[in-house]
Structure 1
Amino acid sequence: MTNNNSYQVLIVDDHPLMRRGIRQLLETEASFDVVGEASNGAEAISLANRLEPDLILLDLNMKGLSGLDTLHALRRDGISSRVVVLTVSDAPADIYALVDAGADGYLLKDSDPETLLDNIFQGAIHGDAFSEQVKAHLERRKDHQSQSSPFASLTERELDVVQEVARGLSNKQIADTLHISEETVKVHIRNLLRKLNVRSRVAATVLFLENRGL
């Protein structure tokens, strides 16, 4: 991984012209260093493991492995890079599926170039990059879920992790308990904190004890 002044980026898209356009856009900002391009999911997984980029820009609809399948595979491999989906689809089902799978952002390709660049930069730094239409869909879902448990949006593995967090276990202890890597634990914690809209392990623990108990 790089220092905070530069972010290594891997572009994943099955359209050469789109990859070139994204690269040219990123090259207008000195903070980005495009270290690789992949034309399919399998190539993306291989490059991500080898390059360990800070940020992966991932297309959703690709031949072979879909963006969703690729994201699942990246997280299974313990890739801790921030993953921002860059797609034409604003379908709620696609948005929810990718966010629930651990995407750090979801941006639409038809966004204004300057806005898109700002959003990608936001994703690289904070892992919170969403187009306005996408935010609207997520807010509607959050409003619906707030009427039930705040944990409804968590995956089964994220529920496992937050339960161990609530028990006071460290990342290493959680990794040993759940038989996953420590990097994967960090990714799960990052995602569940965002989904629960809390900023710390302590806040997540309090929320867990209030809503679920041990």
Structure 2
Amino acid sequence: MRIGLSFREPLLGEAVACLLENRRSWSVGFVARSVSEALISARSNSVSVLVVDTLSLESGELQGLLALRESGSAAVVLLVAEPDPTPYVGLPVDRVLSRHSTTDELFATLDELARPVGRARHGSLPFDLSRRELECAQLVARGLSNRRIAELTGLREQSVKNVVSLAMRKMSVENRVQVALRLTQAGVSDTVPVKAVVSLSMPEKVEAGR
């Protein structure tokens, strides 16, 4: 798994990189000095997770992180200076950690975000879906509305609508119940049984725009 780092202080960035490199399953793709540089490097280096220290975050760069996250290219972890990261939880990132967190907490967070979200039997994401598209498709399969998916993922509702619509086109399905059927046929884990999905989906309109 490749991880990208954005730290304004070179020494701290290199220290975190060395810490992560000691984990055999991880490699650090780059250590950027700014978020703008990190966003460019994240796309060219195909990292799974981007860790951003708030001291390297400039005004207006959250939109760039949001775009990276919504594209499904990489998950975003924000490191904040405060011991309690709760005030930052509403930001458009996947996880917020304090600089006071332990290494075990950092490792656990990265492991969780890098874990494939329901890969198919042969190890690749089915239907050429991105990580974000598959995540939303699985939530659709559980009978959740776009609004509820937005609440769970931290995405905007319109973004969820766009992601779900694109996923449905890739899966060649016309409604949300068929999403569950296709995921089940593909052998994707984390998908609830079809009967349960149908019962959960009945109150909703079976269309991508819901």
Q: Same fold (TM over 0.5)?
A: yes
**Does structure 1 residue 108 correspond to structure 2 residue 125?**
no
Structure 1 position 94 matched with structure 2 position 88: yes
Task: Provide the TM-score with structure 2 as the length reference.
Answer: 0.57
The question of whether the paired residues in 2 share the 8 Å contact of 1:45 and 1:73 is answered with no
> 1:83 maps to which residue?
76
Contact 2:48 2:74 (8 Å CA) reproduced: yes
Matched, 1:64 2:64: no
Q: 2:161 is matched with which residue: 154, 159, 162? A: 159
Counterpart in the other structure of 2:180: none
Alpha-carbon shift at residue 86 of structure 1 (Å): 2.6
CA contact 2:88–2:96 (8 Å) conserved in 1: no
Structure 2 counterpart of 1:210 = 203
Counterpart Cα distance in 1 of 2:27 and 2:114: 12
- Structure 1, gaps ≥5 residues long: 1-6, 128-148, 175-198
Do 1:84 and 1:123's aligned partners in 2 also have CA atoms closer than 8 Å? no
1:170 matched to 2:172: no
Displacement of 1:108 after TM fit? 2.2
Tell me by how many angstroms 1:200 deviates: 4.0
**Per-residue deviation, residues 62-94 of structure 1 (Å, max 9, x unmatched):** 353566233124247x46123222333445442
Percent identical: 22
Residue 20 of structure 1 pairs with residue 8 of structure 2 = no
Cα displacement (A) at 1:208: 5.7
Q: Which amino acid aligns with 2:109?
A: N
Q: Bigger shift: 39-48 or 149-158?
A: 149-158
Partners of 2:67 and 2:87 in 1: CA distance = 20
RMSD over aligned CA atoms reads 3.6
In 1: Cα distance, 2:197 partner to 2:54 partner: 30
The alpha carbon displacement at 1:32 in A equals 1.1
> 2:131 aligns to what?
none
Residue 34 (structure 2) aligned to one of 27, 35, 40: 40
CA distance change for structure 1 residues 205 and 86 in 2, over 3 Å: closer, same or farther?
A: farther
Per-residue deviation at 1:126? 4.9
Structure 2 regions of 5+ residues with no counterpart?
A: 118-146, 174-189
Shift of 1:36: 0.6
TM-score, structure 1 as length reference? 0.57
CA contact (8 A) 1:41 1:65 kept: no
Contact 2:9–2:33 (8 Å) recurs in 1: yes
CA distance in 2 between partners of 1:123 and 1:151 (Å):
17
Q: How many residues align?
A: 156
